[in-house]
Structure 1
Amino acid sequence: MIVKGKLTLSQQVAGRNRFLFFSLINGVSFTCLADNILILYSLKSGCPDYVVAILASFNFWCNVFMLFGKFLTARYGAAGAFGISWILRNLSALLTASAPLFTMYISNRAGIYALVIGIFGFFSFKSSGTVAYSPLVGEITSPGNRGKFSSRISQFANFACMITMCLIILVMHFTQSLSTYQWIIFTGAISGFISTFFVFRIDETEMPRISACKSIKETFLTTLRVPKYRKMLFAYCCCNSGIMFMIPISMMAIKEGYGISDYNALVFAVVQLAGGIIIASISGVLSEEAGPRPLIIIYFCCMLLLAFCWICAPVKFFWTYAIFLFILGGMCNSGTYMTLLHYFLISVPEKERVGTILFISLVAGVCAGIAGTVISSSLIRYLHCLNLAPLDMYRIYFAAVLIIMFVMLFFVCRLEPIEDWRIGKVLSLVFAPRDIQALYFLNRNENIRNPAEELENIEKLEDIGSQLSEKALLSYLDSPKLVLRVRALQALRQIDFGKNARDAILEELKYGEYATAPTAAQIAGERGIKEAVPLLLKGLDSQDNYFKGRCMLALVQLKEKSCIERIEKIFSEAENPRLVVHGAAALAEIGDPAALTLLLRKAIVTTLPERVRYEIIYSISELSGIADNFYKFLRIYQKDRNEGIAYILDYIEHLNANQLDPAFKKLLESYSENRTGNRELIDMLLKKTDDEKRKIISTIDEFLKSCPSEKLYPEIIYCLVAIHRMCGSV
């Protein structure tokens, strides 16, 4: 039904559900009326090979009837045009099923004519409905779910196809008569009528009808004039021709090249559908993430591989080899159509979809028809005249096709990129289990749910740690809940993100004060996002102390030297624990021994919490190069003071290859047992380093001389002794 204005979200959801029901039931119809069934039925009816090749090419030649589909869309809308075309398609299927009656009661030639007319009508009205297919899918989807919904359509259809094909094989196990094929085609027509009910109930706007009202000449000129559309036209022509060269002829090759039964041939039709189901499970989400263009190129290259595999096919029939060929063929067939549809929907505006798909499909269909009628049929007919063995004949056929398709690959590769991945990056997913896991998860989950489920999704994506999670994680930055936005940013830290995520992080830095800006600053520093420097410098003046502290550390990580004096000033004046902690980490990251004085002075401030003081002491050890072992000391010391002291005394003794001065060692042990005070140990330490010229030691000594000994905590003294020992002073 055509509605005024835009479709509501609920109308779109209802439309998608009805379209999926259509796809499921039509999958039954599609299987019963599939190319392979019609090819086997035609062979069973006594049609010569070259006539069968022509019949297979009708799938493309009949795209001329898309003009009729444009007329229907302009008058009845996309859903109406689709429904009417499907009714006429199924009536033609009934005529096809009745062809043997013409043979029985009139003549063999009349039966073949009825078969040809029925199949011609079937493909003609199927083509007229195809005009409305893409605009209708565009009406009930949004840019964020088109790739995934295209995948779900294929999953539903392929599932129904596979179940139906298994039932057909079961029937064929008992009988392979001509009447069996008639009943199969009849079932396909009836299920097709039933599926049409759901199409008529899909709501749509007036946009498809408006688009269909544009003059054909204007549409054709636009398609040829716009470079993106022109390149897409060439790619469609090459892909459709490649499918025509490979998929139907593969069934003929397995049937006649190895002389297998109809029953076994249908087994391979199921295998081909299984290949489509496999690729539909991942292609939709992958197309959303990687872009459809690299996938189109990969699928076309896989058709080249399929041709090469047929050339190298063994003389003896092997099930495993044949199964591989048909799985590969199913993946190419299903994957190519899915990604071409996705590329079309994101490339062509709504107002131009009907006319553009009409022209592209029409020209592409004619090219594929020529490929089937002129090239495939003529080549097979010529090879028959050479009296070759059937398998050798098809080997030569696929060799000739391989050469032609190598030329066509050039035009497929010229598709304009739309924020695509490199092909090598897509292929590398084969060796990336985490990315495959992420694809599976993304394919099964919607981004917008309740807060608890969204948090669970974010945590799952974080655990997977795949770059493919980037787009989904970025979508959670629009959540009204702070905890979800922060968790999404934290999850982004775990993956190798791209430009979109970098831009989002800059946005959070700019507008996320008191919220997500601190986490964004942390990521900017860790990932070296230089574009964030101006925003981080501005953050040093923020009243949000957590954000201010993160900015200090991030600027140091980004090697921004102009802000060092400001950071030192902020740290020396800071009383807020967050500023002190992050300032200490920033000074340690700078690594300048001159910053040691600031850290030492802050470490003796009695008003700071113990945990904050430990952060400062650790920063001192980090700046001095003893961080790892001193960290262990602090951990042990907090749990058990005596065990911690035993650890640090042993560490200090073995920190330097030279023997520890016995007198100092004795005094240090006395200090650890509380028999000696701070002053005696400090005096001996200063005495041992009177002539020391190293900056770090002289800095520490100046501090010790000016600092009242009673203000020094034991952890600080042990740290300073360890630094002296490392430098060889004691």
Structure 2
Amino acid sequence: MIVDHPLTLEERKISQKNYLRFGFINGFSYMCLGETIIILIAVQIGMPDVLITFVGAMLYIGFLLLPLGVRQTARTGAAQSQASFWVCRNIAALLVAVSAVVAQYIPVVAWGLLLFAALMFYGFRAAGVVLSQPLIGEITNDDDRSQVVGNATGAFYFSGVIALIIVSFLLKMSDSIWILCGIVVFGASMGVTASRFIRAIRETDIIRQTAQKPLMPEWKKVKANPMIRQLLIVGFCKNLAVILMVPASVLFLKKGYGFSDTVAVLFSAAQFCASFTASWLSGKIVAKKGPRAVLIISVSLGLIVSLLWLIAPFSGIIIPCILSVLVFFLCGTTVAFGDNANTCYFLMAVPKEQQIAGSVATNVIQGAGAGIAGMVIAGGLMWFARYITPSIGGAFQNFIPGDGQQILTYKLFFLLALPIQLFALYQTIRLKTIIKTYRAEHGEEGVRRTVASGRKDAH
């Protein structure tokens, strides 16, 4: 709701309460609709592995809809825009459940429908939150911003944990695909409900006016910044590695080790809790060591994840369980660390008046670019594995069980992720030289102020 005057204290407090309520309900909703649930449904409807790996890429390809979010914000404001896209996002989630029905008759159409639904689900989310940071800035000030963001984040994770417990209990009773579809429908209804609270948030006309400015002239200024160019390289490689790792990790559990849907959801809970802890911890590290240290840790943990899956046994129960918990915990940590550090660096390098154009452009390149590349690489890798893994399995048949060839295929994803992560680590280390140049040009105090600002927004 746009008002024609600066927000009063009472209006800010009301908006903060609505933002907190949105965070709580949205956390419950997302845990019923997230990537793990979508992949579990994809497995249930018999989708080929090569297409399942595309689901992880949709999270990033969805950034292509970011300009749509800016355009809508220019018409209706940030709060109304996010609320509208949130409704569209949850309608798209319902198509995931519809794909299960279609799969009973035309499986190929169902596979395409699920991928389209995943793309729209993540795309509408990206369009909705494109200007969420300026909106938070409208309803807070420097004194209460970190508390408001922290409370909303805590509410999101708290309700998410509750949702995961309920979901795992339901799947323990029955892992039927119709139970999964019911969970998706419930999550979508909660998501639509959450949009009502975002719609009630009040804002001035500043964000709408800012969104009306053309993006291209500002982007030309942003891309001249050497720090941004370096971040694009690091972010692209980091996201590409995540695209290869996350879906392959779920496939490793379901088709490799044969774990039930309940166990897969519990491992997802470990990843979720790790992201919550890492979000809080990253702010502490940024305050003491700067965002570069957090980014190095993020990329290094990704390397460890790939190495752990590469040395994972082909069978067993206890060791695979322990290894899987550790891997998913590290996955949650590396993603949260990387995203928060990237946000801090971006706020350091880009002037405030250029941040909308810069945010859209960098997310499209880092996100959508990595997503498209991930789809191509995953497809090529699955085609390659079809010919190479039987030969390897035959050569090492005394060491690889009869059903281990499928696990061997998934290991190829992590083998390919290793050089990508090593290159990202090298480029991250190179940021030190660029930071020194930036400090020489802008001064140490300016850097500290922007890091502090970035630390608040990173959560």
Give the residue type in structure 1 aligned to 2:426.
Answer: F
Q: In structure 2, what is the equivalent of residue 29 of structure 1?
A: 29
Map 1:100-249 to 2 at 5 A.
100-104=100-104, 107-142=106-141, 151-249=150-248
Q: Is the 8 A contact 2:45 2:107 kept in 1?
A: no
Residue 398 (structure 2) pairs with residue 399 (structure 1): no
Q: Is the 8 A contact 1:239 1:300 kept in 2?
A: yes
Residue 65 (structure 2) pairs with residue 49 (structure 1): no
25-34 or 146-155, larger mean C-alpha shift: 146-155
SS at match of 1:176: coil
1:635-665 deviation per Cα after TM superposition (whole angstroms, max 9, x unaligned): xxxxxxxxxxxxxxxxxxxxxxxxxxxxxxx
SS at match of 1:94: helix
Matches of 1:85 and 1:122 in 2, distance apart? Answer: 10
Give the residue type in structure 2 aligned to 1:398.
Answer: F
Q: In structure 2, what is the equivalent of residue 334 of structure 1?
A: 336
Instruction: Assess, with a 3 A threshold, how the Cα gap between structure 1 residues 343 and 70 changes in structure 2: closer, same or farther.
Output: same
State the identity as a percent. 27
Instruction: Assess, with a 3 A threshold, how the Cα gap between structure 1 residues 158 and 145 changes in structure 2: closer, same or farther.
Output: same
Q: Is the 8 A contact 1:245 1:401 kept in 2?
A: yes
Q: Is the 8 A contact 2:244 2:413 kept in 1?
A: no
Q: In structure 2, what is the equivalent of residue 253 of structure 1?
A: 252
- Structure 1 unaligned residues grouped into runs of 5+: 421-470, 472-730
Q: Is the 8 A contact 1:272 1:328 kept in 2?
A: yes
Matches of 1:80 and 1:134 in 2, distance apart? Answer: 14
Instruction: Assess, with a 3 A threshold, how the Cα gap between structure 1 residues 224 and 234 changes in structure 2: closer, same or farther.
Output: same
Matches of 1:192 and 1:250 in 2, distance apart? Answer: 27
Q: In structure 1, what is the equivalent of residue 446 of structure 2?
A: none
Q: In structure 2, what is the equivalent of residue 68 of structure 1?
A: 68
Map 1:113-512 to 2 at 5 A.
113-142=112-141, 151-315=150-314, 316-317=316-317, 318=319, 319-345=321-347, 347-386=349-388, 387=390, 388=393, 389-415=405-431, 417=435
Instruction: Assess, with a 3 A threshold, how the Cα gap between structure 1 residues 239 and 401 changes in structure 2: closer, same or farther.
Output: closer
Superposed displacement of residue 191, structure 1: 0.8
Instruction: Assess, with a 3 A threshold, how the Cα gap between structure 1 residues 146 and 329 changes in structure 2: closer, same or farther.
Output: farther
Superposed displacement of residue 146, structure 1: 5.8
Matches of 1:223 and 1:233 in 2, distance apart? Answer: 12
Q: Is the 8 A contact 1:31 1:165 kept in 2?
A: yes
Superposed displacement of residue 407, structure 1: 0.8
Superposed displacement of residue 346, structure 1: 5.2
Give the residue type in structure 1 aligned to 2:108.
Answer: R
Matches of 2:239 and 2:171 in 1, distance apart? Answer: 31
Matches of 1:98 and 1:304 in 2, distance apart? Answer: 37
Superposed displacement of residue 64, structure 1: 1.0
Matches of 2:280 and 2:216 in 1, distance apart? Answer: 39
Superposed displacement of residue 414, structure 1: 4.3
Matches of 1:305 and 1:144 in 2, distance apart? Answer: 39
Which has more radius of gyration? 1
Give the residue type in structure 1 aligned to 2:425.
Answer: L
1:343-401 deviation per Cα after TM superposition (whole angstroms, max 9, x unaligned): 44455444333222111111112222134201233213421333352222222321221
Superposed displacement of residue 91, structure 1: 0.9
Instruction: Assess, with a 3 A threshold, how the Cα gap between structure 1 residues 248 and 157 changes in structure 2: closer, same or farther.
Output: farther
Q: In structure 2, what is the equivalent of residue 97 of structure 1?
A: 97
Residue 78 (structure 2) pairs with residue 78 (structure 1): yes
Matches of 1:207 and 1:412 in 2, distance apart? Answer: 35
1:423-447 deviation per Cα after TM superposition (whole angstroms, max 9, x unaligned): xxxxxxxxxxxxxxxxxxxxxxxxx
SS at match of 1:156: helix
Q: Is the 8 A contact 1:63 1:124 kept in 2?
A: yes
Superposed displacement of residue 23, structure 1: 1.6
1:286-343 deviation per Cα after TM superposition (whole angstroms, max 9, x unaligned): 4345433321221122111111111122333422222111111111223322333344
Give the residue type in structure 1 aligned to 2:240.
Answer: S
Instruction: Assess, with a 3 A threshold, how the Cα gap between structure 1 residues 152 and 398 changes in structure 2: closer, same or farther.
Output: farther
Instruction: Assess, with a 3 A threshold, how the Cα gap between structure 1 residues 294 and 145 changes in structure 2: closer, same or farther.
Output: farther
1:661-711 deviation per Cα after TM superposition (whole angstroms, max 9, x unaligned): xxxxxxxxxxxxxxxxxxxxxxxxxxxxxxxxxxxxxxxxxxxxxxxxxxx
Matches of 1:247 and 1:153 in 2, distance apart? Answer: 26
SS at match of 1:33: coil
297-306 or 145-154, larger mean C-alpha shift: 145-154
Matches of 2:238 and 2:257 in 1, distance apart? Answer: 27
Q: Is the 8 A contact 1:92 1:119 kept in 2?
A: yes
Matches of 2:8 and 2:111 in 1, distance apart? Answer: 50
1:476-522 deviation per Cα after TM superposition (whole angstroms, max 9, x unaligned): xxxxxxxxxxxxxxxxxxxxxxxxxxxxxxxxxxxxxxxxxxxxxxx
Matches of 2:7 and 2:227 in 1, distance apart? Answer: 29
- Structure 2 unaligned residues grouped into runs of 5+: 394-404, 439-451, 453-459
Give the residue type in structure 2 aligned to 1:22.
Answer: F
Q: Is the 8 A contact 1:147 1:288 kept in 2?
A: no
SS at match of 2:131: helix
Matches of 2:205 and 2:224 in 1, distance apart? Answer: 26
TM-score with structure 1 setting the length = 0.54
Matches of 1:240 and 1:186 in 2, distance apart? Answer: 29
Map 1:528-543 to 2 at 5 A.
none
Matches of 1:211 and 1:414 in 2, distance apart? Answer: 34
Matches of 2:144 and 2:426 in 1, distance apart? Answer: 30
Q: In structure 2, what is the equivalent of residue 18 of structure 1?
A: 18
Superposed displacement of residue 48, structure 1: 0.5
Q: Is the 8 A contact 1:22 1:195 kept in 2?
A: yes
SS at match of 1:46: coil
Superposed displacement of residue 156, structure 1: 2.6
Q: Is the 8 A contact 1:7 1:205 kept in 2?
A: yes
Superposed displacement of residue 69, structure 1: 0.8
SS at match of 2:130: helix
Give the residue type in structure 2 aligned to 1:204.
Answer: E
Q: Is the 8 A contact 1:70 1:355 kept in 2?
A: no
Matches of 2:108 and 2:253 in 1, distance apart? Answer: 27
Q: In structure 2, what is the equivalent of residue 441 of structure 1?
A: none
Q: Is the 8 A contact 2:38 2:96 kept in 1?
A: no
Superposed displacement of residue 417, structure 1: 4.3
Give the residue type in structure 2 aligned to 1:360.
Answer: T
Matches of 1:355 and 1:225 in 2, distance apart? Answer: 13
Q: Is the 8 A contact 1:143 1:346 kept in 2?
A: no
Instruction: Assess, with a 3 A threshold, how the Cα gap between structure 1 residues 380 and 160 changes in structure 2: closer, same or farther.
Output: farther
Q: Is the 8 A contact 1:77 1:208 kept in 2?
A: yes
Instruction: Assess, with a 3 A threshold, how the Cα gap between structure 1 residues 198 and 173 changes in structure 2: closer, same or farther.
Output: same
Give the residue type in structure 2 aligned to 1:410.
Answer: Y
SS at match of 2:258: coil
Give the residue type in structure 1 aligned to 2:275.
Answer: G
Superposed displacement of residue 168, structure 1: 0.6
Matches of 2:436 and 2:193 in 1, distance apart? Answer: 38
Instruction: Assess, with a 3 A threshold, how the Cα gap between structure 1 residues 113 and 322 changes in structure 2: closer, same or farther.
Output: closer
Instruction: Assess, with a 3 A threshold, how the Cα gap between structure 1 residues 261 and 69 changes in structure 2: closer, same or farther.
Output: same
Matches of 1:120 and 1:196 in 2, distance apart? Answer: 20
Matches of 2:436 and 2:174 in 1, distance apart? Answer: 51
Matches of 1:384 and 1:151 in 2, distance apart? Answer: 47
Give the residue type in structure 1 aligned to 2:409.
Answer: M
Matches of 1:79 and 1:89 in 2, distance apart? Answer: 15
